[in-house]
Amino acid sequence: MTLQEPETRSHRGRSHHKQTETKQQRAQRLTKAKAERLRLRQRLATDHDAVWTFKEWCAVNGISVRTGRRLLQSGRGPVVTMLSDKRVGISRRHDREWKASRARGGAVT
């Protein structure tokens, strides 16, 4: 018996496979997430003085969290309100101003 044999034996019983979800479970998870985003958009769209958390702001604008981070880090995003030392928020007013600044005039046909 070598020195590595007991170590090898102890690893045999462990499974390194990820827990997988069925197509039905995935569909349910995605449907639930989509409904939650829709509810969030509807609730936040009516509050004119709201300060959204970063994730809420991303959901309202229909962008991913990664794209939102990229916008803020590049300096091309809206004015940020620090909710705490680490939490970032965006006010609805600053969001509207940011969107207005990004509007392009198109040719009317």
Give domain status of residue 20, yes or no: no
pTM value? Answer: 0.56
Give domain status of residue 57, yes or no: yes
b/e burial code for range 44-77 (CB count within 10 A of at least 16 → b): beeeeebbbebebbbbbbeeeeeebeebbeeeeb
Query: Along the 109 residues of the chain, how does pLDDT read in single tens digits?
Result: 565 655 555 555 556 667 788 999 999 999 998 898 788 777 767 777 778 889 989 988 999 999 999 999 999 999 999 989 999 899 988 999 999 998 887 666 5
Q: Which domain holds residue 69?
A: 49-102
pLDDT score for 56: 85
Residues belonging to the chain: 109
| 3-state SS, residue 62 | coil
Tokens in use for 11? 């690893």
How many domains does the structure of the chain reveal? 1
Give domain status of residue 90, yes or no: yes
